[in-house]
Amino acid sequence: MPCTPHASGISRADIVLAVTRALADALLRGERPPVVFPNGCDFHRFDHLADVLPARQVALSPPIAGVVGQFNERTDLDMLTAVQESLISLLLVGPRHFASPEASERFAQLTMRPGVQWVDRVPQDDLNCYLRCLAVGLTPYADSVFNRRSFPLKTLEYLAAGIPVVCTDVAPVTDFDRRFVHAARSREEFAAVTAATASAPVDREAVRRSVRAFDWTNRADELLALIAGWRR
């Protein structure tokens, strides 16, 4: 988790794992540094994505950029608005949980703009149908301490599905193949890179191979090796 646990709990732990280097630095207590241990994904859930039919409910013109996940204060709505203003079709899939009425209203206004479609929570078994619609996946993290210390699961799952990614320059992307993950700092850059990525040819199998090592089976093996090494 990208939050900071109670210091006494960390000091009693034999091994502390952190999903990013920034979080590991924040969790440092005493002489033993936390182990950077990035998140994983269910890589094989996307093995047959190419055989899945795109969701019939999606009524947008390709190419389509999209976000699949939850929408809340971690979401930079300025970046998504910039994509809509660049006339790239924008698909938003997932529930919204904004704490402030103002942010909730901004999201509602975005969903009513031309070329934008919002689909509320869908069953996990149906997600591949929506991912199948995307030419580019978006990870529009707002700039916050929480997000800077987070490992972008959304980015990882897009890549496992063979979808190139455009993200804000907030969460670390050093673990990913930068041919397929493009970080942008400004709303103008975010929109421009999204448009370029959405229209560029891509080898989806190469995108997938770039994150094969992140499969949860590999992560479990690595964790067991860490525990075995500590016990020795």
Query: How do residues 90-141 score in pLDDT, each as one tens digit?
Result: 999 999 999 999 999 999 999 999 999 999 999 999 999 999 999 999 999 9
Structure tokens at 213: 């090592």
Report the distance separating Cα 116 and Cα 173, nearest Å.
Answer: 27
Determine contact, residues 215/40, Cβ cutoff 8 Å.
Answer: yes
- CA separation, residue 29 to residues 95, 145, 151 (Å): 37, 19, 21
What distance in Å separates the CA atoms of residue 218 and residue 126, rounded to the nearest whole number? 26
Check residues 32 and 115 and name the one with the higher pLDDT. 115
| Average predicted confidence (pLDDT) for the chain | 92
The rounded percent of the chain whose pLDDT value lies above 70 is: 95
Instruction: Give residue 4's identity as a one-letter amino acid code.
Output: T
Q: Is the pTM of this model over 0.95?
A: no
Q: What is the mean pLDDT of residues 170-186?
A: 95
Partnered with residue 215 across adjacent β-strands are 41
Q: What is the pLDDT of residue 2?
A: 45
Beta bridge partners of residue 226, listed in sequence order:
none
> Cβ(64)–Cβ(89) under 8 Å?
yes
First-to-last alpha carbon distance for the chain, in angstroms, is 27
**Residue spans per domain, the chain:** 7-37, 43-207
Name 64's bridge partners.
89
Name which of 66-70, 99-103, 111-115, 172-176 the model is least confident about. 172-176
Structural tokens at position 87: 């006339």
Domain 43-207 is found in CATH 3.40.50.300: no
| Residue matched to tokens 């934008």 | 116
Residue in 72, 78, 69, 211 with CA at minimum distance from that of residue 134 = 69
Residues forming beta bridges with residue 93, ordered by sequence position:
68, 119
Number of CB atoms found within 10 A of residue 80's CB = 28
Cβ neighbours, 10 Å, residue 144? 14
User: In which band, very low, low, confident or very high, does the pLDDT at 9 lie, cut at 50, 70 and 90?
Assistant: low
Residue 29 pLDDT grade (very low, low, confident, very high; cuts 50, 70, 90): confident
